[in-house]
Structures are given as C-alpha cells and as structure tokens.
Amino acid sequence: MLDEIIVISPELNPGRGGLSDYTLRLAEEWAGRADVRFIIPESLGHRAAALREKLPASGGKVLLQYSAYGFDRLGYPRWLLRALTDWRKTSGGLLVLMFHEIWTFWPVLNKNYLVQKFHRSEIRKLVSVADVIFTSTPSQAEHLREFTSAVQVLPVGSNIRRTARTDDARHAGLAVLFGLQRSRIKALREMQTELKSLAAAGLIKKVTSFGEGKTTEGEQEERGLLSELRLQEGFEQAGALPEAEVSGLLGRASFGLSAQDELSFNKSGTFMAYAAHELNILSLYADVVGPEPLCWLTHPGELWRGLTTDELKSRAQNLRSWQEGTSSWPQIAERFAEGLQLGATSPAGRAGVGSE
C-alpha cells in the first residue's frame, strides 16, 4: 500500500505558477510512491474545526505549503497554525513544514507590528511540534532557527519545464522579462539606467515581456518603461502564455532580466526558469567574487564594458548546472520524501489522489 500524504496548500490551479504548480509538481514526482490528498483551506471557510475533521485522528503524514498571505489577506492565518499545532500534539502524526514565507517585519509604530508579533509567536508554537522544517531562503532560515536549529534550506524549482532546444537557437540581443507584472515593473524601474545604456550600444535590441498578474495600470506603466529604452527592434508585451511557449521564448533569448536580490532568488521560480534554460541573467546583484549563483550572473555594466562570447556561455552553463544540482524537481521531491518518510510504516489512513 502506498503512503497517503496530505498536502495543505493555499491554492491548486494548474498553470498559475507559485504554490499551485509547486504542489502539483511534487505530486507528479511522487507518482507510484504515494497517494496524495490535497486540502485547500479556502474550501473549509478558514475554520480550524473544519480542517481538523479532514485530518486523520491518529497518525497520518501532512505537508504544509506555508505562505502567510496565501492563507490570509492580513498575513496571519491563526486558525490554520493553531489547528495544525493541536493536530500534531494529539494525533501522533508526522508534520512537515515548508515555509515559502514567514512573518513580515514592520516598524514598532506600524499597526501591523502587533499582528505580526502574534503571527511569529504562533509560528514558533507550530515549529516546536513539527518533525521536519524547510524554508526557501537562508535569511528565512536564520529567523526560524531562533526557535530550532533543525531548519533546512530548500530552494524552489523552475516554474517552467525546459521543453525547447537552446543549442543554436539564441537570438543575439533578445532579452526576456518574465514573471508577475509587479516583478517585471520592479526590474524595469531598478535597471532603467543600465538598460538604456545597453540599448544605446546595441547590446540589447529587443525585450519581450510576459507573465501573469496583468492590470491596465500596470500594463501602461510597463509599456512606458519599455518605450523609454529606445530599443532598436522594439519590445513586445506578450502577457500570460502557456508553459511550452514560455519555454520556447526562454530558449530563444540571450538574456533574462532579473531584480531578485541575494535574499530572494532562492524562492523565485522565474529566476530558476532563467537558469534552467541556460540564460545569461542580467542583474544589479551580480558579483563575480560572490557565492554561487551570484558569481554566475552578469552585471549590465560588465556587458557594456565587454564580455567574450565564451565567458557569457560559461556563466550560462554554470547557472544551469547550479540549478540542476540544487533545485531540480526530482531533488526537491526526494528531500520532501525523506522528510515524510515515504515507504516507512505509518498509522495513517489510506486514500486515493483527490482534493478537499
């Protein structure tokens, strides 16, 4: 009999990226090894009692995909944290936590300060009863280690599977800007001066922007920022695209534009998609003497001053090797499988794949 794994996630909509695709990729990797049952708290009316009714009274294996704002618009899903803490104490089941987000940090005089102080306290209680704890970035791990040393860093995987060939298909001067609209606008704002210089020198000739999160206001701002670059071959705002088309665009481009800093790249599926597709990532956070993968990124100033084709190719290949070695989906799924003790004896009930 296969183990039943209960996965609690704030969302489960294929193709939306984020935790939806993350959770579904895990289930795909566990095919033939586990029966996965999904619980989406929104369907429970965000009630602790309703959640406890869906969990095994004795034993069981539960994985929580934690994103505070994903579960609660104020960033403090107290009912969820308390319900799982109580369940772990009374059921004797196995609880694995993956913190994609922790609490947020506000000045003392901000009205959200107390809310997040209580949030932190509830997370501490949950962490104290959990069996295995993961988080996506070293900085979040440092904060969680205030409660326990047993915190493992596990970067996210690429949200786009590599289906396109990239060997000889690169278009010189084509840069892609992929991700949620707010992230794309942030990158354009931060890199505007440098991108104008690269455009004027003909090193970037065209930018294709695409991804989720479209708003009319955001589209207008993005268009304005792209227009100001005065690109030789112009720009394109492609919007949301199917996964295969995204992979094709990433496979044809020479550069990926990123505003992810050293604290956030580990939890960016977009960053990992760039790396998986062997792109040169243009970033203001590139650091040739920094740790991996920052040392494999390319600062716009470096490109403007001149880098050889061999150097750019080497950096892109190293980025891909780094991504495959740290956050490929088989590796991520195996880390969770170890934490959930797949194949080990468990008093959990048995059920088929489904959602609640």
The residues spanned by each domain of the chain are 3-157+329-355, 174-326
Angle, nearest 10°, between helix axes 329-340 and 309-327?
Answer: 20
Listed residue (269, 268, 270, 315) closest to 293, CA to CA = 315
Read off φ and ψ for residue 98, nearest 5 degrees.
-120, 110
pLDDT at 17: 67
Give the ranges where 130-207 is alpha helix by DSSP (H). Answer: 138-144, 181-200
Distance CA 182, CA 212 (A): 9
Per-residue pLDDT in tens (0 to 9) along the chain, 356 residues: 788 999 999 988 876 668 888 999 999 999 989 999 999 988 787 788 899 999 999 999 999 999 999 999 889 999 999 999 999 999 999 999 999 999 998 888 888 899 999 999 999 999 999 999 999 999 999 999 999 999 999 999 998 888 866 555 789 999 999 998 999 999 999 999 999 999 999 999 999 999 988 899 999 999 999 999 999 999 999 988 988 999 999 999 999 999 998 888 888 989 999 999 999 999 999 999 988 899 999 999 999 999 999 999 999 999 999 999 888 999 999 999 999 998 764 444 333 344 45
What distance lies between CA 339 and its chain's CA centroid?
20
Q: What angle do CA 10, 15, 19 make, to 5 degrees?
A: 30
Predicted structure pTM score: 0.84
Q: What pLDDT score does 154 carry?
A: 94
Residue 253 sits at the vertex; the CA angle it makes with 308 and 302, to the nearest 5 degrees, is: 35
The third-level CATH classification (topology) of the domain covering 3-157+329-355 is Rossmann fold (3.40.50)
Give the whole-angstrom CA distance, residue 281 versus residue 257. Answer: 6
The CA distance from 96 to 332, in Å, is 14
Cβ neighbourhood burial of 282 (10 Å; 0-12, 13-18, 19+)? buried
Q: Which of 158, 323, 175, 309 is nearest to 252 (CA)?
A: 175
Q: Considering the domain 174-326, what is its CATH architecture?
A: 3-Layer(aba) Sandwich (3.40)
Query: What's the residue count for the chain?
Result: 356
DSSP secondary structure string for all residues of 74-107: TS--HHHHHHHHHHHHHH--EEEEEES-------
**DSSP letter (8 states) at residue 307:** -
Domains 3-157+329-355 and 174-326 in one fold:
yes
